[in-house]
Amino acid sequence: MSQTIEKQAGRETEQFDTNSLKETVDFMLQQAKSKGASATEAGLSVETGLSVTVRMGEVETIEYNRDRSFGITVYFGQRKGSASTTDFSRQAVIDTVNAACDIARYTEEDKYSGIADKDKQAFDYPDLDLNHPWDVSAEQAIEMATQCEAKSLEHDKRITNSEGAYITAHQGYRIYANSHGFVGDYSSTRHSNGCTVIASEGEGMERDYWYSIARNASKLDELDMVGEMAAKRALQRLNARQVKTQKVPVVFHAEVARGLLGHLVRALGGGAQYRRASFLVDKLGEKIFPDRIHIDERPHLKQAIGSAPFDGEGVKNSAHDLVKDGVIQSYVLDTYSARRLDTVTTGNAGGMHNLFINTDDYDLDGLLKEMGTGILVTEVMGQGVNIVTGDYSRGGTGFWVENGEIQYPIEEFTLASNLEEMYQRLALVGNDVDLRSSLCTGSWLIDEMTIAGAE
């Protein structure tokens, strides 16, 4: 049965016949075969959306997007060529296939190249309930963004300025197909709201924000809550002090701890492994976390932000462990990197899908009480993370904690350590899990780090 992908945007509605799009992808594959390609894979994406930003009660931006693209990769033996187009006409498709074939004829052979093996394809994949179009007009989005910002500005007289509040509503449709006969498609939505404001007191000014993201707009945080949270966070940062250089326990707020999980994924990524450009090269089966730590991927959670029914190569993805009992169980591989490492893909072409770390029975306040005296980090900055060596050095802002209670905001300090040491020193993971990305974690308590601050 033919379906349509529909997005309401103000007075305009864009529709795409999915059967027609599948026919176009099939035509592309047949064209490549007729040109002598031994294997082919093709992808198509269509995206529509509305984004509205309001600043100081005035509309700052209204953006509609209607994007679409085709991409094809052809293989002549182990020579590879790729080309793409935004033109869906038959002649454009033919021209794109010809371009990919011409490129392939001039490339060097790569014995690891090629589409994923047929027995790895997700010929039977689940419906993950990812598609929840939001029929919101520009006028309605403006009203909502205005309400969110106004709630933040009226929260306290020290909230003196705003960088804006926004509402976004996006829908996409994706097809992936290859010459194994696999054709996979699914629709998905992603909506968000957010606000960023500035707090002032004396000569000091601080900026902070809050936002929420969901597949279904009904699951977004309430507008008033988003505005108030942005205001509270900005106010908490006023009158920040410096701390002395010392070694102390550190709690990384869940938003920041997500980055620590991301560094692990990068270090275990296939490209870093086969290039031997990771501090975790050849560490499969080795213990890098405390015994109780379990990190696993759950790609098929319904309506989750990181969910996908198959990976970027049409490979069947499934729940699996990355770390168990503190021990590395798996790398993060697509087909090419797996072949380079003489193993099999983990279904991660395109990235991770809902990676979780197990939590302890403490919320953020509980972690601070367990820490006693130390630092709560709420933001990090700079690019001081070396995945090759694991060295970690980033600027930070946050709060000084004594007797388990926040005492005052702090700034202009540097966190210095090594990722492997940080992972080993992970004492507790909070149950304040942030689900706003594909990397899902609560706050982390690391029992000791070097803090470089005032002398």
The tens digit of pLDDT for each residue in 48-94 reads 999 999 999 999 999 999 999 999 999 999 999 999 999 999 999 99
pLDDT of residue 172: 96
Q: What is the pLDDT of residue 454?
A: 80
Residues 222-242 have pLDDT tens digits of 999 999 999 999 999 999 999
Please check whether residue 375 is in contact with residue 401, taking contact to mean a CB–CB distance below 8 angstroms.
yes
Q: Which of 444, 113, 424, 383 is closest to 280 using CA atoms? A: 424
Percent of the chain past pLDDT 90, that is, above it, reads: 94
The confidence score (pLDDT) of residue 383 equals 87
Structure tokens at 269: 């990524």
Residue 259, Cα to own-chain centre: how many angstroms?
10
Segments in the chain below pLDDT 50:
1-14
Q: Which pLDDT score, from 0 to 100, does residue 14 have?
A: 43
Number of alpha carbons in the 13 Å side-chain half-sphere of residue 405: 2
Q: How much is the pLDDT for 158?
A: 97
Q: How many CB atoms lie within 10 A of CB 385?
A: 19
Taking the C-alpha atoms of residue 117 and residue 257, their distance in angstroms, rounded to an integer, is 36
| pTM exceeds 0.85, yes or no | yes
- Quote the pLDDT of residue 5: 42
| Chain-centre distance for alpha carbon 354 | 9
- pLDDT in the model for residue 453: 87
Question: Domain ranges in the chain?
Answer: 4-234, 235-259+359-452
Q: What pLDDT score does 244 carry? A: 94
Distance CA 176, CA 165 (A): 35
**How does strand 183-201 pair with strand 159-178?**
antiparallel
CATH code of 4-234, in short, is 3.30.2290.10
